[in-house]
Amino acid sequence: MFDFEMAHVLKDYDGPCRNIHGHSYKLYVTVSGTPETNKNSPKNGMVMDYKDLKAIIKKHIVERFDHALVINSDTDSKLTASMRKHMEKLILVDYQPTNENLVADFADIIRPLLPAHITLHNIRLWETGTSYSEWFASDNA
């Protein structure tokens, strides 16, 4: 599990999430593959060394999104320019930054970074203690 704090705003939304607000996210990543069978390999019995998976997730998801504000790139350019002057981590995305879209984006980021023999099986992104979105490779083939 990976924890990070992130704020977002839902452009043109008809509820309170149209305002900038943040969440304490919890990200779960599951990979699949065939465990190493070479008894002489230090990775014997492993599908993937957790240390390697953690390094990918920390570098490309947690370090990038932790304490960032994520907004739709369709937001007024003058507003985003002003925000950039005052915020170190403003991330513009080409989608509405809902939890559902974020989890799909995270899958797109992670998949090409995995070793060739490893498949991203699923990702679960908790936005609150009671709300999460899940992405499955089998639904996105």
Assess whether 67 carries a catalytic annotation.
yes
Residue of 80, 55, 72, 81 lying closest to 9 (CA atoms): 72
Neighbours of 120 (CB within 10 A): 21
Q: Tell me the sheet residues that pair with 133.
A: 125
Given the residues 17, 21, 63, 117, select the one marked as catalytic.
Answer: 17
Given the residues 21, 63, 67, 117, select the one marked as catalytic.
Answer: 67
The CA distances from residue 17 to 6, 72, 105, 138, in Å, are 14, 13, 20, 30
Assess whether 127 carries a catalytic annotation.
yes
**What are the catalytic residues?**
17, 67, 127
